[in-house]
């Protein structure tokens, strides 16, 4: 890149603006403006799409107060986080176990190409379809899962999964787990394959066994990727919509009512509480911004950071030197 700078000179600089113009325009219109607009609606009494007669409230923060003290919304945040945790912990554990097996240097699992293809498959299938497929599989009184339970004699009669609050949470978490563990596994494997083989050779020479190698070398080396997976999964989890919405429409009794289902229901199912939905969106927006700021921080350009540090130290040293001279 630096090379090109010298060849070209500055005369072409305007093309930089020219080529990034479509992105900037689309971003301003379809992303930035709606963000501010959503925030703005949060301060108003706007309800419904066709309604043009709406104003900023006398007490602008009233909506935020009512949303933040709204039991259903707070519970939906809790539900979202619970479902995400229940899906993420088994997911990352299984993904790590499979990663350890698939990248083992001594006895790697054979046929892993095929296993990878199969494990990743659910991730590419429409989430809406998967939600309804699981709804059909667990359906009561006639459904494949109940059929198996009865035929194997595990139960005498069919079991109604849909009225169980925790059962539904677990099933939604399981669906999330089932769709995402293959993806997480592939990410982790690519991370492990990026580790320099020299380190492993050194460990071999030192007589480290498989378990030691995994915990002492592999794990510390994929720390960043693990963190990245954690935060991106959290952001995705906070946006969970298709599966809880279509599996049981947030039920039974709001047991799978995630924040996005809450927002959708507030605004688009006849209630038309746009202002409240906008407030709830903004609360989620802030939470997600914090999370992504964290990703930004962990993925920052490390070389540039190092350079800065060195420069700082140099400055400090210079200062100290200066200070000493002054004394």
Phi/psi class of residue 314: alpha, beta or left (left: φ > 0; alpha: ψ in -120 to 50)?
alpha
In angstroms, what CA-CA distances link 51 with 157, 164, 215, 274?
52, 40, 60, 11
Which residues in 91-110 contact other proteins (CB under 8 A)? 94, 98, 101, 107, 109
134 binds other proteins (CB under 8 A): yes
Residues in Cβ contact with 62 at an 8 Å cutoff, skipping those fewer than 6 apart: none
Among 96, 172, 173, 189, binds other proteins (CB under 8 A): 189
Per CB under 8 A, the segment of 55-63, 64-72, 182-190, 314-322 that binds other proteins is 182-190
Which residues in 226-245 contact other proteins (CB under 8 A)? 228, 232, 235, 239, 241-242
33 binds other proteins (CB under 8 A): yes
199 binds other proteins (CB under 8 A): no
Which residues in 255-314 contact other proteins (CB under 8 A)? 260, 263-264, 267-268, 274, 277-278, 281-282, 284-285, 288-289, 291-292, 295-296, 299, 302
Residues in Cβ contact with 94 at an 8 Å cutoff, skipping those fewer than 6 apart: 181, 185
Nearer Cβ to other proteins (106/324): 106
CB of 286 to other proteins, least distance (A): 9
- In 3D space, the residue among 33, 53, 34 whose CA is nearest the CA of residue 45 turns out to be 53
CB of 163 to other proteins, least distance (A): 17
- In 3D space, the residue among 141, 147, 144, 145 whose CA is nearest the CA of residue 163 turns out to be 141
CB of 14 to other proteins, least distance (A): 8
Among 56, 85, 118, 318, binds other proteins (CB under 8 A): 118
Dist. CA 211–CA 196, nearest whole Å? 18
Dist. CA 31–CA 35, nearest whole Å? 6
Dist. CA 192–CA 185, nearest whole Å? 10
Dist. CA 150–CA 24, nearest whole Å? 59
Token pair, residue 321, equals 């030197």
> Other CB atoms closer than 10 Å to residue 116's CB: what's the count?
16
Nearer Cβ to other proteins (233/323): 233
CB of 271 to other proteins, least distance (A): 13
Nearer Cβ to other proteins (37/166): 37
Nearer Cβ to other proteins (19/326): 19
Angle (nearest 5°) at CA 85 between 84 and 91: 90
Measure the N-to-C terminal CA separation of the chain; round to a whole number of Å.
45
Per CB under 8 A, the segment of 57-65, 80-88, 128-136, 314-322 that binds other proteins is 128-136
Nearer Cβ to other proteins (209/313): 209
State the binding string over 41-80 for other proteins (x if CB under 8 A, else -).
x----x--xx------------------------------
Among 171, 180, 191, 218, binds other proteins (CB under 8 A): 191
> Other CB atoms closer than 10 Å to residue 192's CB: what's the count?
19
């Amino acid at each position: 890149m630096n090379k090109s700078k010298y060849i070209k000179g500055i005369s072409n600089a305007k093309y930089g603006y020219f080529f990034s113009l479509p992105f900037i325009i689309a971003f301003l219109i379809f992303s930035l403006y709606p963000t501010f607009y959503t925030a703005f609606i949060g301060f108003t009494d706007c309800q419904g799409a066709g309604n043009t007669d709406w104003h900023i409230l006398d007490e602008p923060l009233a909506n935020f107060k009512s949303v933040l003290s709204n039991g259903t919304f707070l519970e939906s945040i809790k539900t979202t986080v619970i479902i995400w945790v229940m899906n993420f912990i088994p997911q990352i554990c299984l993904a790590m176990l499979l990663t350890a097996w698939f990248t083992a240097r001594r006895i790697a699992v054979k046929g892993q190409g095929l296993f990878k293809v199969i494990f990743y498959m659910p991730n590419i299938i429409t989430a809406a379809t998967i939600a309804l497929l699981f709804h059909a599989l667990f359906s009561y009184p006639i459904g494949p899962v109940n059929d198996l339970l009865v035929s194997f004699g595990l139960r005498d009669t069919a079991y109604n999964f849909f009225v169980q609050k925790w059962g539904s949470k677990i099933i939604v978490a399981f669906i999330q787990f089932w769709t995402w563990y293959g993806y997480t596994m592939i990410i982790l494997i690519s991370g492990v394959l990026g580790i320099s083989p020299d380190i492993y050779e050194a460990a071999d020479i030192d007589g480290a066994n498989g378990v030691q190698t995994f915990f002492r070398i592999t794990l510390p080396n994929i720390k960043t990727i693990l963190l990245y997976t954690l935060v991106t999964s959290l952001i995705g989890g906070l946006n969970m919509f298709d599966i809880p919405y279509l599996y049981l429409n947030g039920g039974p009794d709001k047991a799978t009512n995630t924040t996005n289902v809450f927002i959708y229901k507030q605004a688009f199912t006849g209630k038309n509480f746009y202002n409240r939905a906008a407030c709830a969106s903004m609360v989620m927006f802030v939470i997600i911004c914090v999370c992504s700021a964290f990703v930004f921080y962990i993925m920052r350009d490390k070389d540039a950071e190092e350079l800065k540090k060195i420069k700082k130290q140099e400055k400090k040293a210079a200062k100290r030197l200066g200070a000493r001279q002054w004394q």
